[in-house]
Amino acid sequence: MKRMTLKNIGQIQEADLRFGDLTVLVGPQASGKSISLQWLKLMLDTGLIQDQLHTYGLDYGGKVHDFLDAYLGEGMHSVWQADSEVHVDGKRVEVEKKIARQQRNKSESAFLIPAQRVMTLANGWPKPFQSYSPGDPYAVRSFSDGLRMLMEREFAGSGPLFPQSNRLKADYRKLLQESVFGDFKLTVDKVQSQKRLVLGAGGNHLPYMVWSAGQREFVPLLLGLYWLMPPGKVARRGEIEWVVIEELEMGLHPRAISVVLLLVLELMSRGYKVCLSTHSPQVLELVWALEALRKHKGCADDLLDLFEVPHSAGLRDMAKAAVGKISKVYYFDPAGTAKDITDLDPASAEAQEASWGGLLEFSARANETVAKVVANSPEFASGDLFAEGK
Amino acid sequence: MSFSADVKATLHLGGALCKGLGALSATDRARISVGASIKLAGSVNVDAALKTSQPNAALWDYVVGQKQSNKECLHWIEVHPASGTGNIGEMDAKLKWLAVWMRTTPLASYPRQIVWIASGKSAFNSRHPALRSLANRGLRFAGGHLALAA
C-alpha cells in the first residue's frame, strides 16, 4: 500500500495519506491520528483480524458497526457513517462487503504497538487476548497477546530479557542501559507459580508497578521490538512489512527517545515501513534531519553524528540503509483534514508547517516573550547586554 | 512625543518616513500581515537611510511604528537569511549595532520588539539554542512571517 484516503470517518473529513518509508502523524488529541493508524492496520490485515475475533468468540455477524465496536473498541461504531469512504491506492474499498466476508489472507502484515501498551503488563505479565473486556480495542488485545506468545515461545528459559546478547546490537543495548535501565536487568521471576517481569539489581527484584513511568512504558515497546527483530540473521518477522507505533515518546527522557528513534531507523534499515503518531518535536527533528540528509546527499556518518553514537560497523550499516529513506509528515487538524507538512520549514508561510503541527508553538512564544522582555529592559537600553564578554 | 516627529528628529532619517509599510520592499512587505484593527504610524528603511553615513556598519533593515490607544510602539524588523549558523553571527552583529545606534536617537524611548524574519527557508526551529541565545539578547525569530496584531 502506498496511499490510503479516509473520508468522513469519525472526526476525519478527509485524510489523504501517501506513505513514505517513515510516516509521522501529528496533531492535537482526538484529531484522527490513532483512527487512521488503526484503519491502516485494518486494510492490511483484514483477514487476520476477522479470524482472531472469531477465534476468541467475538461474533460481529458480518456487520460493519458491530465489527468496529469489536475492533476499535466499545462505542466506536459511530465513526462509520453513511458517507464514510476508504480508498487504498486510489481504489475505493467496499468496506461493508469486506467486513461481511471472511478475507483469505490471515498472515500479519502490520504490527501495531498501541498507545495503551502500558496496560498490557499491568500485572507484570502480558495478558492473553481473551482476558480483556470485549469492549477493549483490538489493537491492545492483539499486542498484549503477541507479547504473551513471545514470552512463552522465546523467553521460556532462564537469563535476563535485557540485556541479552542475541537481541539488539551491542551498541543499542549499551545505549538502552545508559538511558532507560541503568544497572537494572529485566528478568522473569515467580511469585508462587505466577511468572512476572521484574527489574533486578544487586539481588533486589522490583515488580512492574514500582518501575519508573518511563520503564513501564518502554518495556512493552522493547518486547514489541524483540518480536520485530528476531535473533540471528533474520531481518524481519514473518510477513510483517509495516510497523505502527503510537506515541513512542511516552514517559521517556529525550535521551531515551533518541535511542528509540535509533531503533526506528534500525526497523527501517531492515525494510519495514514505519508509521508513527507523536506529540514530540524530537521525532519531527529526526524527520527534518533525514529529509535534509536525503536531499543534500548527507551520509551515514552525518546521521550517526545526529545521535552522538559510535560509528561502529553495525550502526554504520544501519545508517547507510536509513539515510536514503523517504519520510512523510501529516498534520491532523481539529477541523478534520490532514495536511502534508513534510518540508517542516520553520519559515513557511503555512502556519501549521512553520509550527510543525503546533509542536513548536509554545517554544516560539517562549522565545517571543523572552525577547520582548529583554528588548525593553534597562540592560538592553544601557548596552550592558552587549558589553565585552557577554 | 510621536513616532513621526522623532523619526524626523533623528539624524539621517528625517526624510525617510513612509506611510504604512511603504518603506519596505514589496517582497519584504509580503512577509508581514497587519491585523484589520491595527493603525500604523509609518515605516523607515533604516538601512537605506544610513548607508551613506555608515557604509561599513551592520545596519538594521526597518522600523515600523504602530499606534496604540495612548502610546506608540515600534517593530524593529530585519529580513535576513536563516539558512545556516553563519547567519546567527550576522544577526548578533546587527543587533549590537542597533542597540548602540538606537541609544543615540529619540526612538530608544518607545516600547519595542526586535524581530528577525527569515528571507528564505530556515535552518532553525524555535528550539534551536542559538535562537534562544538571541532571545536572551532581545531578538525574536519570527520564521518567515510576522503578524502585527493589537
Q: CA of A329: how far to CAs of A8, A18, A125, A181, A357, in Å?
A: 21, 9, 35, 31, 9
Choose the closest CB to A371 out of B108, B127, B138: B138
Q: Do B125 and A368 touch (CB under 8 A)?
A: no
The mean pLDDT of B67-88, rounded to a whole number, is 94
Taking the C-alpha atoms of residue B51 and residue B64, their distance in angstroms, rounded to an integer, is 18
Taking the Cβ of residue A348 and every Cβ of chain B, the question of whether any pair is shorter than 8 Å is answered with yes
Taking the C-alpha atoms of residue A72 and residue A70, their distance in angstroms, rounded to an integer, is 6
Q: Do the beta carbons of residue A110 and residue A40 sit within 8 Å?
A: yes
Sheet with A12-18, edge to edge strand ranges: A12-18, A3-9, A80-88, A91-92
A209 burial level (CB within 10 Å; 0-12, 13-18, 19+): exposed
Taking the C-alpha atoms of residue A122 and residue A220, their distance in angstroms, rounded to an integer, is 10
For residue A354, what are the contacts with CB-CB under 8 A and spacing of at least 6? A345, A346, A347, A348, A360, B143, B144, B145
- Residue ranges of the domains in chain B? 3-148
Residues of B in contact with A388 (CB under 8 A): none
Compute, in degrees rounded to 10, the torsion defined by CA atoms A21, A27, A30, A31: -80
Q: What's the mean pLDDT when you consider all of chain B?
A: 95
Taking the C-alpha atoms of residue B20 and residue B43, their distance in angstroms, rounded to an integer, is 6
Taking the Cβ of residue A363 and every Cβ of chain B, the question of whether any pair is shorter than 8 Å is answered with yes
How far does the CA of residue A253 sit from the closest CA of chain B (Å)?
Answer: 16
AA identity, residue A22? L
Q: Do B144 and A380 touch (CB under 8 A)?
A: no
Taking the C-alpha atoms of residue A315 and residue A303, their distance in angstroms, rounded to an integer, is 10
The interface predicted TM-score of the complex, written ipTM, equals 0.94
Taking the Cβ of residue B103 and every Cβ of chain A, the question of whether any pair is shorter than 8 Å is answered with yes
Q: Of A145, A119, A118, which Cα lies nearest the Cα of A130?
A: A145
Q: Do A383 and B139 touch (CB under 8 A)?
A: no
Residues of B in contact with A344 (CB under 8 A): 125
Q: CA of B102: how far to CAs of A112, A163, A375, in Å?
A: 59, 61, 12
Residues of B in contact with A346 (CB under 8 A): 82, 118, 122, 124-126, 143-144
DSSP assignment of A5-39 equals EEEEETTEEEEEEE--SEEEEE-STTSSHHHHHHH
The phi, psi pair for A58, rounded to 5°, reads: -95, 105
B-interface mutation test, from A370, A373, A377, A384, most B Cβ less than 10 A away: A370
Q: CA of A226: how far to CAs of A26, A38, A329, B73, in Å?
A: 26, 22, 26, 59
Taking the Cβ of residue B111 and every Cβ of chain A, the question of whether any pair is shorter than 8 Å is answered with yes
Q: Do B144 and A354 touch (CB under 8 A)?
A: yes
The phi, psi pair for B66, rounded to 5°, reads: -125, 130
Examine residue A334 and say whether the peptide bond preceding it is cis (omega within 30 degrees of 0): no
**For a pLDDT cut of 70, what percent of chain B falls above it?**
100
Q: What's the pLDDT score for residue A388?
A: 67
AA identity, residue A304? L
Q: Do the beta carbons of residue B126 and residue A360 sit within 8 Å?
A: yes
pLDDT tens track, chain A, 390 positions: 999 999 999 999 999 999 999 999 999 999 999 999 999 999 999 999 999 999 999 999 999 999 999 999 999 999 999 999 999 999 999 999 999 999 988 899 999 999 999 999 988 999 999 999 989 999 999 999 999 999 998 887 778 999 998 899 999 999 999 999 999 999 998 888 888 999 998 888 999 999 999 999 999 999 999 999 998 889 999 999 999 999 999 999 999 999 999 999 999 999 999 999 999 999 999 999 999 999 899 999 999 999 999 999 999 999 999 999 999 999 999 999 999 999 999 999 899 999 999 999 999 999 999 999 999 999 999 988 887 666
Pairing mode of beta strands A3-9, A12-18: antiparallel
Query: Is residue B43 helix, strand or coil?
Result: strand
Q: Do the beta carbons of residue B79 and residue B31 sit within 8 Å?
A: yes
Q: CA of B104: how far to CAs of A144, B93, B101, B128, in Å?
A: 70, 18, 5, 32
Q: Do A347 and B137 touch (CB under 8 A)?
A: no
A-interface mutation test, from B140, B141, B145, B146, most A Cβ less than 10 A away: B140
Other CB atoms within a 10 A radius of the CB of residue A259 amount to 23
Taking the C-alpha atoms of residue A173 and residue A106, their distance in angstroms, rounded to an integer, is 34
Instruction: List the CATH code of the domain at B3-148.
Output: 3.40.91
**For a pLDDT cut of 90, what percent of chain B falls above it?**
93
Choose the closest CB to B125 out of A360, A368, A383: A360
Pairing mode of beta strands A327-332, A22-26: parallel
- Residue A356, CB half-sphere, CA atoms under 13 Å: how many? 26
Q: Which three cell numbers stand for residue B106?
A: 529619540
The mean pLDDT of B110-130, rounded to a whole number, is 95
Q: What's the pLDDT score for residue B150?
A: 77
The phi, psi pair for A163, rounded to 5°, reads: -75, 150
Residues of B in contact with A298 (CB under 8 A): none
Taking the C-alpha atoms of residue A339 and residue A341, their distance in angstroms, rounded to an integer, is 6
Q: Do the beta carbons of residue A185 and residue A201 sit within 8 Å?
A: yes
Taking the C-alpha atoms of residue A161 and residue A199, their distance in angstroms, rounded to an integer, is 10
Residues in chain A: 390
